[in-house]
Amino acid sequence: MARIVVAGAGATGASIAYHLALQGSGDRIVLCEREEVATGATGKAMGGVRQQFSTAPEVRLAKASVRFFEELGSPLFEQVGYLFLATTEAGVTDLGERLRSQQELGVPVERVDPSFVVGLRTDDVLDAVICREDGVADPAGVTRHLVMGARSMGVDLREFTDARELDADVMVIACGAGSPKLAAHYDVELPIRPLVRQLVDTGRVDGVPDDLPMTVEAETGFHFRGVDGALRLAMAEPTLRWSAKAEVDDELVADWRARLAHRYPAAADVEIRRRWAGLYDMTPDAHPIIGWVADGVYAACGFSGHGFMQAPAVGAAVAQEILTGSSELDLAPYRLDRFGGEVVFPETLVL
Ligand SMILES: Cc1cc2nc3c(=O)[nH]c(=O)nc-3n(C[C@H](O)[C@H](O)[C@H](O)COP(=O)(O)OP(=O)(O)OC[C@H]3O[C@@H](n4cnc5c(N)ncnc54)[C@H](O)[C@@H]3O)c2cc1C
């Protein structure tokens, strides 16, 4: 029987290995990781799980994944909702249009009075929407859970091993920002570029509710979630940092502190406990690349900053396609050949 090597034990690779095993082929799968499980983007992620996307293919992946997270439940997933706040007339119009298009795509988004969130400043908020099925998860914890499940079904985990050292009948490239390098080993060019993004954890803040939704300022993209009584902050950056050097920009940290003090006044003087940076694996259209890219080589990468929340659905569909030749979830929108000729990375991406 064919030996399948899944390269990369982030959320994507772990989910693929888990689903390959679940679909009956655990004893011929190697999950191969250059470092340790969940040390790439997965271990650095915010953990947001949302269905509120603007295109049908993204919504489909998110909807199929949220059921998995619901079954997982607390403490790995907290279904606290994703709350978007608009503070300008333009923001209100955008939020209204998005609400309609997402409802048409079947996402249960609704208008809400945001003052239900204890401690949140809402006197400048003109409109707000929430999807209560969305929430926040522990990306490294979920990934370790998947790896444990995969191993219990016979998958061979090899940490500190570069996939290029292993022979495979099928090589699955799930290496995040490292994917183009592994693909090049098979003479395949993947249009994926690393983009630096950072996160900040505060110390404990009095009164942060356990069910604080992921709260997003729609116009600026500034957002935060609760983590054990503290807050985790992130924001779409005004100038995109196209680089493989994952460094923290302290000016951004200072800016986010000021934004937090405004939106969540109880955190005005809170200390910053941790800051770190990681890499998004961006494609030109911010949608992933999923499918065969050469004989015996399958790619599942380029998740462009939202691969954790899509990993359950992607893992199930990829496993099915590799084992049976097709998948229930339509993977056609994600094929590599959609990028014909010259690929251009937009300099203004809404992330
Ligand atoms: C700051 C930040 C915040 C984010 N927030 C969110 C969020 O809120 N929600 C969300 O859904 N997503 C988020 N993401 C994106 C998310 O982390 C990833 O899309 C997701 O975790 C899937 O990652 P992955 O498994 O594809 O890649 P990774 O987690 O990067 O895993 C790839 C693995 O491959 C390994 N590898 C590389 N080359 C080789 C090789 N040759 N051989 C063997 N192993 C190799 C690496 O060591 C790495 O462990 C965020 C990312 C960052 C950086």
Q: Are strands 109-111 and 223-227 parallel, antiparallel or unpaired?
A: unpaired
pLDDT at 215: 98
Res 123 pLDDT > 70? yes
130 contacts 82 by C-beta, under 8 angstroms: yes
How many angstroms is it from 124 CA to the middle of ligand 1?
A: 36
Q: What is the pLDDT of residues 301-346, one digit of tens each?
A: 999 999 999 999 999 999 999 999 999 999 999 999 999 766 665 5
Query: What's the CA gap between 132 and 31, in Å, rounded?
Result: 34
> Which token pair is 131?
């999807």
Measured from CB, residues less than 6 Å from any atom of ligand 1 are 7-13, 32-35, 39-42, 44-48, 139, 162-164, 174-176, 178, 182, 197, 199, 278-280, 301, 303, 305-309, 311
How many angstroms is it from 44 CA to the middle of ligand 1?
A: 8
How many angstroms is it from 235 CA to the middle of ligand 1?
A: 18
| DSSP code, position 66 | H
Q: What is the pLDDT of residues 53-88, one digit of tens each?
A: 878 888 888 888 999 999 999 999 999 999 999 999
Q: What is the pLDDT of residues 164-178, one digit of tens each?
A: 999 999 999 999 999
How many angstroms is it from 41 CA to the middle of ligand 1?
A: 3
> Which token pair is 43?
């271990």
Q: How far is CA 16 from CA 150, 323, 333, in A?
A: 9, 11, 19
> Which atom of ligand 1 is the closest one to the Cα of 38?
49
How many angstroms is it from 219 CA to the middle of ligand 1?
A: 27
| Residue-averaged pLDDT of the chain | 94
Residue 318: name the closest of 24, 30, 12 by CA.
12
Q: Where in the chain is the domain with CATH 3.30.9.10?
A: 82-132+194-282
**Topology of the domain comprising 82-132+194-282:** D-Amino Acid Oxidase; Chain A, domain 2 (3.30.9)
Task: Determine whether domain 4-44+139-192+284-338 maps to CATH 3.50.50.60.
Answer: yes
Q: Where in the chain is the domain with CATH 3.50.50.60?
A: 4-44+139-192+284-338
The pTM assigned to this predicted structure is 0.96
Res 349 pLDDT > 50? no
Check residues 136 and 345 and name the one with the higher pLDDT: 136
pLDDT at 60: 84
> Which atom of ligand 1 is the closest one to the Cα of 198?
1
